[in-house]
A and B are shown apart, each in its own frame.
Chain A
Amino acid sequence: MISPGLDNFLEGQYMLAALDPAKYSAPDNNLLNNVKQIESALSARAVLLGRLSQLYTSFVALASYDASGQVKSGLTSLDGAINNYASVLGAASPPISSVADTAISDAGGIIASEIQKHMVLKASEAIVPRLNAISGLLANENAKYAALQDEITRGLRDTALVLWEHGIGAPDPILSSQIGSFGLTYVTGSYSQACKNGVAAAQQVCKDQFDAAIKKAVENRAARVAALQAQSITSNQAALNGLIAAHGELEKGKPLDLTAITEQLTTIRGVIDDINNAQKSNAQKK
């Protein structure tokens, strides 16, 4: 997703500047510094979503046994990540009451099951304002990251096209997906057999048209990828809204809907995995 894309984007800009110097300029220090700053924000966002996911592990455990200590520790940890993310964004820390004021273990019930229910409700009441704070911080960021992702994809597409124009790369996967649907097998490298019929001039026209068609295919694929990535970036917002709704139901007296919570957490964990995989990939490169 975004982070390895940023690295690839930068590398691509160097290649574009070398292969098409009339249009492209190599990245300068300002651009490199801005990219570093964006990567810091992405890391802080990954930590924030990771802490939220850990908090929910404790919250779900609280429904089975007295995990109030874990929940309090999860809330404290999440508050740190929220404040850090707000700081990286240059935003004010959201007003959230302190964990010390959260009476998760102060259950006054007589029956064990009532005590349990009380603790879950108290934990839920403590989690919701934090979800709202995270949602507020991410709301504006998502649109910005979607725009960034779009530019990265455009840059990667441009690099691919310029490399192809310079005779670097082979369109085997594109042709394979065209021919493979009806029982024919694509033979690797056979694209080089295209346009071998007719006189030399006709062959050249055919070759130019074929190259242009491959470029169109790359452009279409890049546009599709950009659209899917924009959806994926905004999915965490929907997941947070889903969690807030699940807490609302619980606080209205309905049973804890673990399926709904697990479903939204899976989406959030997917976003974290993307960022973490990106960071691993960057670490391997460096």
Chain B
Amino acid sequence: MPMEADIVAAIKNTYDQLDDNFDALYSKCTTDDQKQQLKSLLASARDAFFAATAKSLTDNNPTVDALTKQLQDTNADLGKQLTGIKDIVGTLALCTEALKLAAALATLAAAA
């Protein structure tokens, strides 16, 4: 079972990866929509991190456990893709997937 700190760390990892690699991702975006999507993802990651920090997260829920593991795995995949961005559409889709997990985790963990 993940500890509360592990859940926050996984969400923080998504936020930090997006923040640290923003310029590289931005330079690969070919449309304004992609650029706007990237900006929104960073803002959502920031909000998910602060929501998770503000709310009391619990680790005794199997759904939270599964989501945390999924987010950790998605973060690891994202880290690999960010080392050499070849397909911006695919990378943005993976970022979006990570953000969906982070946001769901922040909400579900607080309510569990």
A binds B: yes
As a 0/1 sequence over residues 148 to 183 of chain A, the CB contacts with chain B under 8 angstroms (1 = contact) are 101100100010000000000000000000000000
- Minimum CB–CB distance for A269 against chain B, Å: 25
Contact A143 B5 (CB under 8 A): yes
Contact A140 B9 (CB under 8 A): no
- Assembly CA distance A140 to B53 (angstroms): 11
Contact A25 B9 (CB under 8 A): no
Q: State the main secondary structure of chain B at its contact with A.
A: helix
Once A22-B39, A151-B15 are accepted as A-B contacts, the answer to whether A30 and B47 lie under 8 Å apart by CB is yes
User: B97 at the A/B interface (Cβ < 8 Å)?
Assistant: no
- Minimum CB–CB distance for B61 against chain A, Å: 14
In the complex, which of the residues A23, A34, A41 contacts B50, with contact meaning CB atoms closer than 8 Å? A34
In the complex, which of the residues B3, B12, B46 contacts A31, with contact meaning CB atoms closer than 8 Å? B46
Contacts of A147 on B, CB cut-off 8 Å? 5, 8-9, 12, 53
In the complex, which of the residues A25, A28, A35, A144 contacts B8, with contact meaning CB atoms closer than 8 Å? A144
Of residues B49, B51, B53, which shows the largest number of chain A Cβ atoms within 10 Å of its Cβ?
B53
> Which residues of A are at the interface with B, using a C-beta cutoff of 8 A?
22-25, 28, 30-31, 33-35, 37-38, 41, 89-91, 140, 143-144, 147-148, 150-151, 154, 158
- Size band of the interface chain B makes with A: 20 to 34
Contact A38 B53 (CB under 8 A): yes
Within 8 A of A (CB), among B1-57: 3-5, 8-9, 12, 15-16, 19, 22, 26, 35, 39-40, 42-43, 46-47, 49-51, 53-56
- CB nearest neighbor in B for A150: B12
Contacts of B55 on A, CB cut-off 8 Å? 34, 37, 90
Contacts of B22 on A, CB cut-off 8 Å? 23
In the complex, which of the residues A22, A31, A143 contacts B26, with contact meaning CB atoms closer than 8 Å? A22
Q: State the main secondary structure of chain A at its contact with B.
A: helix
Once A31-B47, A147-B9 are accepted as A-B contacts, the answer to whether A91 and B53 lie under 8 Å apart by CB is no
- Assembly CA distance A37 to B56 (angstroms): 10
Contact A38 B9 (CB under 8 A): no
- Assembly CA distance A34 to B47 (angstroms): 9
Once A90-B56, A144-B4 are accepted as A-B contacts, the answer to whether A22 and B35 lie under 8 Å apart by CB is yes
Once A31-B46, A140-B4, A140-B5 are accepted as A-B contacts, the answer to whether A23 and B26 lie under 8 Å apart by CB is yes
- Assembly CA distance A41 to B50 (angstroms): 13
Contact B12 A151 (CB under 8 A): yes
- Assembly CA distance A41 to B4 (angstroms): 16
Contact B8 A38 (CB under 8 A): no
A-B contact pairs, 8 of them (CB 8 A): A30-B47, A31-B46, A31-B47, A34-B50, A35-B54, A38-B50, A38-B54, A143-B8
- Minimum CB–CB distance for A94 against chain B, Å: 15
Contacts of A37 on B, CB cut-off 8 Å? 54-55
- Minimum CB–CB distance for A45 against chain B, Å: 13
- CB nearest neighbor in A for B110: A90
In the complex, which of the residues B3, B4, B16, B50 contacts A154, with contact meaning CB atoms closer than 8 Å? B16
Of residues A30, A90, A147, which shows the largest number of chain B Cβ atoms within 10 Å of its Cβ?
A147
- Minimum CB–CB distance for A89 against chain B, Å: 5
Contact A89 B47 (CB under 8 A): no
Contact B9 A23 (CB under 8 A): no
- CB nearest neighbor in B for A25: B43
Given A31-B50, A151-B49, output 16 extra A-B contacts at Cβ < 8 Å.
Answer: A22-B26, A22-B39, A23-B26, A23-B39, A23-B42, A24-B39, A24-B42, A28-B47, A31-B46, A33-B54, A34-B50, A34-B53, A143-B4, A144-B4, A150-B12, A154-B16
- CB nearest neighbor in A for B50: A34
Of residues A24, A33, A91, which shows the largest number of chain B Cβ atoms within 10 Å of its Cβ?
A24
